[in-house]
Amino acid sequence: MRSENDDIELIERCQRGDQAAFGEIVLRYQDRIYNLCTHLLGNSSEADDLAQATFLKAYRNLDKFQPRAALYTWLYRIAVNTCIDHQRRPFFESIFRRSATGEEVVLDHPSSSPSPEKNFENQQLQSALGKALGELSPKLRAVIVLKEIEGLAYQEIAATLEISIGTVKSRISRARVELQGLLQDFREPN
């Protein structure tokens, strides 16, 4: 089983110039980083670009990685900041950015719904949830995605975003309340 010690060993090899070690890091974390970027941006094309940018930034800043932090925490932080910065980009960048290519692979998620109708309703609600996520501010979206989709604990989110645990709790609570309101609007549009 992979451990944090394995990650630290890989980082040390990268810092000594071993590109193959960095390739191993990319393979280990590409799905998590891509998944995170997709849910932060709501767009798989942009997610591909920014997930790549995340790893390239990590490569450029390998010398800044502190071994006391978990590698995935550090990568998540770069990914979140990259996505937030991207959403704040000036108008001209949006004109000139390049789009990524590549097919999206969606993992099958078994449905536990008792009936096709319930399954359809759940799919509709999940689609609404995806749209509602896009309505949140980047800060609230980041904490709720890290919590609900990436499954991080409060302490891990605090370390990732370099905020206090109190701030994590507050933002998660606000995000859930806002999402509840947005999903309510979906259910009762009138």
Partner 1 sequence: MNCAKSHRLFSSYLDGELSLEEQEALAGHLQSCRSCRAAEAEMRVQRQLFAGLPRLAAPLGFSARVMGNLDQASVGCFTWHHVFVGFAEVAVLGVIILTGIVSGGFLVDRLNPAKMVTASLGLDLFEPAPPDSLGGVYLALTEVANER
111 contributes a contact to partner 1 by CB under 8 A: yes
48 contact partners, CB below 8 Å, separation of at least 6 = 34, 37, 100, 102
* Binding window for partner 1 (CB under 8 A); candidates: 1-9, 71-79, 92-100, 134-142: 92-100
> What is the CB-side half-sphere exposure of residue 182 using CA atoms within 13 A?
18
92 contributes a contact to partner 1 by CB under 8 A: yes
Residues 128-147 within binding reach of partner 1 (CB under 8 A): 129-130, 147
Count of beta carbons in the 10 Å neighbourhood of residue 151: 8
Hey, what are 185's tokens?
């609007």
DSSP state of 107: P
Site of interaction with partner 1 (CB under 8 A): 19, 22-23, 26-27, 30-31, 33-35, 38-39, 44, 48, 51-52, 55-57, 59-60, 90, 92-93, 96, 100, 102-107, 109, 111, 122, 125-126, 129-130, 147-149, 154, 169, 172-173, 176, 179-180, 183
